[in-house]
Every structure is written in structure tokens, then in C-alpha cells.
Amino acid sequence: MTDMKELPILHLICGLPGSGKTTFAKELEQTFNAVCLSPDEWLHRLGFNFYDEVASAKVEGLQWELAQMLLRRGDDVILENGFWSKEEREGYRDVANGIGVTTKIHFLDVPMAELRSRIARRNQERAADTPEVDPASLDELGR
């Protein structure tokens, strides 16, 4: 009997700010012994503004390159970019299919009122290494 490892899994976590992406990603990280890549964490640790679109694109690009290398090695990877557009999710899934790995999309659907409440609480209680979230960003992202 041969010991066959299942295909690596690319987990894409979709959701607006406050939907629980980071909390869910940490649970997946433990469950699957996966590598979790969070653009928000990298942006903050590198000293970039949370809303700097150029920096965000660069960080997400680097994380995607790293994720592909890890997937090719057989590691499960979690990306918590938000993945708000279907086109973006499909693009990542197409590349993952091309490398021969499975993609799982996790959509965290939370009502807007709850998101606003969570963000207000998070901003009030946040640790020094946690970026503040602008509640107005929900209006733009939730469209």
C-alpha cells in the first residue's frame, strides 16, 4: 500500500473588513498545518498605510509568488486578501489548477450592521500591531 498525500490546497478567504477573515484563517492554519499569508499583516509590519493601493498590490503580488512556490512544494496555503471580485478568485483558481492543486473558496458573509459593529469594537480594542480600519471603507467595498 502506498502512502498518497492529497493534493495541496489553496484556501482563498473572501470577505469584507470585519468579517472574520483573520480569525478564520488562523483556524484553518491550525487545522491544515497550512501557511497563512495576510497582506494586512505584512503592510502593517513594513510600515505601509493600510489603504495604500500600490503597496497592497505589491505585497499581494509577492505573497502570491510565495504561495505558488509553497503549493508546488506540497504545502497548503491560505490567502486572506478579501477576494471581493469573482474575476480575481477565478484568476487565482486558474493558476492553482495549472499547478495541479485544489482551491477552496471560503466566503464569510456578514451583515453590514454587524461588520460596522465589529470594526468599531476592533478599532477601540486594537493592539498596537493591528491596523485601524476606516469604517467608511465598507461603503466603497460593499457595493
Task: Provide the β-strand partners of residue 1.
Answer: none
Which listed CATH number (3.90.650.10, 1.10.10.410, 3.40.50.300, 3.20.20.210) goes with 9-141? Answer: 3.40.50.300
**26-36 confidence digits (pLDDT tens):** 999 999 999 99
Q: Which of 130, 123, 116, 125 is nearest to 16 (CA)?
A: 116
pLDDT at 2: 44
**Whole-structure pTM value:** 0.87
Q: How confident is the model at residue 133 (pLDDT cuts 50, 70, 90)?
A: confident
**72-85 confidence digits (pLDDT tens):** 999 999 999 989 89
More confident residue, 123 or 10: 10
Mean pLDDT lowest among 13-27, 58-72, 92-106, 114-128? 114-128
Domain boundary assignment for the chain? 9-141
Strand 35-37 vs strand 77-82: parallel, antiparallel, or unpaired? parallel
| Three-class secondary structure assignment of the chain | CCCCCCCCEEEEEECCCCCCHHHHHHHHHHHHCCEEECHHHHHHHHCCCCCCHHHHHHHHHHHHHHHHHHHHHCCCEEEEEECCCHHHHHHHHHHHHHHCCEEEEEECCCCHHHHHHHHHHHHHHCCCCCCCCCCCHHHHHCC
Residue type, 47: G
